[in-house]
Amino acid sequence: MGFLDALLGRTKPVQANLDQLFALPGATLTLEAGTDFRPTGTGSVCFRAAEGRAFSDIEKDVQDLLNMSKDSAPVEVSTDRYNFTWLVSKHSPDDAEGLVTDLHAVNSSLENGGFGPQLLCTIMAFRDSGGRSLGLVYLYKRGTFYPFAPLSGQRRNNALELQIRGALGADLKIEQDLSRWMPIWGAPGL
């Protein structure tokens, strides 16, 4: 946000940064080697649906595109209580690449349609043998990841999150500003 932008009261919507997303399969391997967490094969993309025909057309195209691939279950679409749309893609747990490719297809479709600024985050879900769940959240606007470990009753396991940050520091660009580690309660697929 430059001086002139502030002076003239205009905001350039922040474009999504898709570059870091393909670091996820590598991070999955590191996580499996260093901790008990395994991918569940579920990943989701969260975006803000804009009003109007243009966006709904793109949304439909994306769903059709994802449903074409043979090695994944049909994509689930849901709207959360903040009116954000979630596309949940389910693959087999060892197919991290396929999952990330699917997620990336959603992003690039939206971006090509001119709706890059509508993307919020992507979550890849993990679970350990004790049943604890963990999400690696990718913030499109920052181009960074952070771990999110929800507990029951809208609490989060901060100790585990910090531990994961340490484990993945070399593989992923982790969000340094802890105040950006936004909780995503009830995220589909987590």
Partner 1 sequence: MARTRYASDPGLIARMGATMFLLGLVFVGFATGLVYLISYYTSHRHGGGGPANVDVLIFFAAVIGIGSALGSYYWSDKIALRTSGARLVGPNDGPDAARLHGIVDRLCALADMPKPRIAIAPTQMPNAFATGRNTKVAVLCATTGILDRSRLTDEELEGVLAHEMSHVAHKDVAVMTIASFLGIIAALMVRFAFYSELFGGGRRDNNGQSQLLVIPVMLLSIIVYAISFLLIRLLSRYRELSADRSGALLTGRPAALASALVKVTGDMGRIPVKDLREAEPLNAFYFTPALKPGQSLATIFSTHPSLDRRLKELDKISKQLGQQR
Among 19, 33, 68, 83, the residue binding partner 1 under the rule CB under 8 A is 83
53 contributes a contact to partner 1 by CB under 8 A: yes
The structure tokens 């690696």 sit at 136
Residues 122-161, mask of contacts with partner 1 (x by CB under 8 A):
-----------------x-xx-----------x-------
Under the binding rule (CB under 8 A), the answer on residue 9 touching partner 1 is yes
Determine whether 123 is exposed, middle or buried from the number of CB atoms within 10 Å of its CB (0-12, 13-18, 19+).
buried
Distance CA 147, CA 183 (A): 10
Angle at CA of residue 120, ends 123 and 146, nearest 5°? 45
Shortest distance (Å) from residue 19 CB to partner 1 = 14
Check residue 169 for interaction with partner 1 (CB under 8 A): no
Q: Which residue among 7, 33, 68, 159 contacts partner 1 (CB under 8 A)?
A: 7
By beta-carbon proximity to partner 1, the closer residue of 52 and 131 is 52
**Residue 129: exposed, middle, or buried by beta-carbon count in 10 A (0-12, 13-18, 19+)?**
exposed
- Three-state secondary structure readout of 104-143: HHHHHHHHHCCCHHHEEEEEEEEECCCCCEEEEEEECCCC
Among 81, 133, 69, 135, CA closest to 106: 69
Using the minimum distance from each CB to partner 1, give the nearer residue, 111 or 171.
111
User: Shortest gap between Cβ of 135 and partner 1 (angstroms)?
Assistant: 14
Q: Is 74 in the site for partner 1 (CB under 8 A)?
A: no
Residues that bind partner 1 (CB under 8 A): 1, 5-15, 48-55, 57, 81-84, 111, 113-118, 120-121, 139, 141-142, 154, 177, 179-180, 182-183, 185
